[in-house]
């Protein structure tokens, strides 16, 4: 529990939330300011700032919970697809600094917006250099 963390307070029940799933290590609840109906958040109970500092043993449990909640959201909202996003640090849009993943029901003709950004034209030799830079930092 981190002082002044909204999501830690939700976990502790100090702030009300519309919970949809809870186990020993994770909680899923409705986003209070939803982008679409059914917008759900999944968080680890262990406080961490975002994916970049999530301990591996916590991260390992995330995927099955995301799958379980996504399938439930998809069924409940008769969605045709699920869009998931997760932001790390303010430069990426993160506003609440307790690790979380957004789950959004999507439909073929919905107006949620296109989330495939415009693509750059980059030579394969340059892309290969980018790969080398990343590999050096793994």
Contacting positions for ligand 5GP (CB under 6 A):
6, 15, 17, 29-33, 87, 93-96
Catalytic entry in 39, 100, 102, 115: 100
110 binds, among ligand 5GP, Zn ion, none (CB under 5 to 8 A by kind): none
Part in contact with Zn ion (CB under 5 A); list of ranges 46-54, 67-75, 105-113, 117-125: 46-54
Q: How far is the CB of 18 from Zn ion (least distance, A)?
A: 18
Query: How many CA within 13 A on the CB side of residue 126?
Result: 4
Part in contact with Zn ion (CB under 5 A); list of ranges 6-14, 25-33, 56-64, 106-114: 6-14
Strands 81-85 and 40-44: unpaired
Beta strand ranges found along 17-67 (DSSP E): 19-22, 26-30, 40-44
Q: Considering only CA atoms, which of 38, 50, 4, 43 is closest in space to residue 22?
A: 43
100 is a catalytic site residue: yes
Q: Considering only CA atoms, which of 27, 105, 26, 115 is closest in space to residue 70?
A: 105
Kindly state the tokens that stand for 101.
């993943």
Q: How far is the CB of 8 from ligand 5GP (least distance, A)?
A: 11
Q: With CB under 5 A, what is the number of residues at the site for Zn ion?
A: 6
Work out whether 96 is an interface residue with Zn ion (CB under 5 A): no
Contact (CB, 8 A) for 79 and 105 = yes
Smaller CB separation from ligand 5GP, 93 or 132:
93
Q: Write out the catalytic residue numbers.
A: 100
């Amino acid at each position: 529990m981190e002082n002044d963390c909204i999501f830690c307070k939700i976990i502790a029940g100090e702030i009300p939330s519309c919970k949809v799933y809870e186990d020993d290590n994770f909680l899923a609840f409705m986003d209070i300011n939803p982008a679409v109906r059914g917008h759900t958040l999944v968080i680890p109970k262990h406080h961490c700032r975002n994916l970049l500092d999530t301990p591996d043993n916590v991260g390992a449990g995330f995927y099955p919970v995301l799958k379980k909640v996504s399938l439930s959201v998809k069924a409940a909202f008769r969605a045709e697809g699920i869009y998931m996003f997760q932001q790390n640090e303010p430069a990426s849009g993160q506003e609440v600094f307790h690790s979380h993943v957004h789950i959004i029901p999507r439909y073929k003709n919905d107006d949620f917006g296109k989330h495939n950004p415009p693509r750059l034209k980059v030579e394969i030799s340059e892309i290969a250099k980018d790969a080398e830079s990343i590999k050096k930092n793994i």
